[in-house]
Structure 1
């Protein structure tokens, strides 16, 4: 029997090496496996853990290499949504130790602070900000560590994209969508919004993703909330959101809900809506 005719097994299903491409597509279509990183697959019943991520990288990264880039952030615990539009991360590594390194699950990887700076330099601006925000939010990197690391790369008056990302980064951003929304507001010239704003109501406490509580217009304040498809799409969820925003309106807050299509579309409806409320002309067109 030839080697490629030797049977492999997945969930009790036999197949041979020559059948791998067809079987792989079939198993993906059936929802029995998922891609962990580019080219590495696992049973969907296996939980995403730091150990699994390290084991997946060990299959494709040379033993003496240093994990870097998006793969380093992923190994440090950041989800792929914050790192780019692709659902899986590409393995990235280097053999040159030009940045501080740490050992994670037995793999040599550039340090979290150095990873943050690298992502700020090489990712597109919205994903650079969401990635660095996520590193701060997870407490993988502290604000002090990020400031120290970025100072080693960028002069104090540096206006490059990467330097701005490091200055804009905020540990309070709780999701990539909130990071992208904040970048739209900053890019339009509205100034830094406050994050995770507490609003005390008569019967409960509300939390707003971001807004401008110190800039009231006719007694009302502006808040913005990122409504993800996962948590704000069903009829029940939408009724809950409308009820909540009616209650916030009674407390003096004008809320602008923002969906993913509002952030990534080309029409500046978001900037125009915010500018109309704040009585400020937005800076257009968008620069990213």
Structure 2
């Protein structure tokens, strides 16, 4: 490991260009360093903080540039899984005028400008999960988002980015919940409620105002991280049995259910709500 008196974050140093690939691969494979963003590495003992992210970007971003796009969202505290499928962030910046703030010595687009830029540039799925995350972590408020959007869109704009801004909801607690909500929206189903309280439970999404034959529909996104062990699966089964007793039909949704060409989710939801979904899917 590096002595603590050496810099804990570096851009390829202290190695020569000829040594760098071999040395870095060895250190990464032995669990001594990790890559924060493309070209910037850090001692694994150093925790991920906003200050560390800013320090990493200062090594690769020109001092007179403005950090923008997904890099700006990352600096504002949003995780990479929310922003796209790539496990490593490539720094992006601009010299064009933007509404900016300064975070830990780095000039970055303002939270509202960052959100609108992501809505315009990212694929729809990740654009919505990024917007939801910015709202959920209170980086930006809905009022700020709508006020700033007037400089980009007309109030009645039907552009994809404007529609995503209207769909954004800070109650979504994970990217999977955002993607699931977008699937329901694209299929033409009623807009679900989020974080629905039912007895002693809370559902990710649900239709408390749309009973069908005295029963209500709820949907829950089950991530692999929290719903894969035997103990977790038993807990989920118990929870859904309890909910069924009080009139709630729960559809569990996995990541593999969201990312695929077969519209099983839309057909299942449509069968319960007695509504034909809009097909084919848009993503």
| TM-score, structure 1 as length reference | 0.92
Q: How many positions carry a matched residue from both structures?
A: 273
Structure 1 runs not aligned, ≥5 long: 1-8
Deviations 1:223-256 (A, max 9, x none): 0000111111111111111111111111110000
Deviations 1:187-238 (A, max 9, x none): 00002110000011xxxx1000001111111111000000111111111111
Task: Please tell me the root mean square deviation across aligned C-alpha atoms, in Å.
Answer: 1.4
Match in the other structure for 1:4? none
Match in the other structure for 2:44? 44
Match in the other structure for 1:20? 20
1:21-170 alignment, distance < 5 Å: 21-97=21-97, 99-170=98-169
* DSSP-derived class of the 2:88 partner: coil
How many Å apart are 1:10 and its aligned residue? Answer: 4.0
Structure 2 runs not aligned, ≥5 long: 5-13
Alpha-carbon distance change, 11 to 227 in structure 1, aligned in 2, over 3 angstroms: farther
* DSSP-derived class of the 1:180 partner: helix
Matched, 1:215 2:210: yes
How many Å apart are 1:287 and its aligned residue? Answer: 1.0
CA distance in 1, matches of 2:248, 2:26: 51
Match in the other structure for 1:276? 271
Deviates more, 1:15-24 or 1:162-171: 15-24
How many Å apart are 1:19 and its aligned residue? Answer: 2.6
* DSSP-derived class of the 2:19 partner: helix
How many Å apart are 1:29 and its aligned residue? Answer: 2.4
CA distance in 1, matches of 2:15, 2:177: 46
How many Å apart are 1:40 and its aligned residue? Answer: 1.1
Match in the other structure for 1:197? 196
Higher strand share: 1
Contact 2:15 2:23 in 1 (8 A): no
Match in the other structure for 2:172? 173
CA distance in 1, matches of 2:256, 2:163: 25
Matching residue within 250, 254, 260 for 1:259: 254
Deviations 1:152-193 (A, max 9, x none): 211122111111110100010111110000000000000211
* DSSP-derived class of the 2:184 partner: helix
| TM-score, structure 2 as length reference | 0.93
| Displaced runs of 4 or more, over 6 A | none
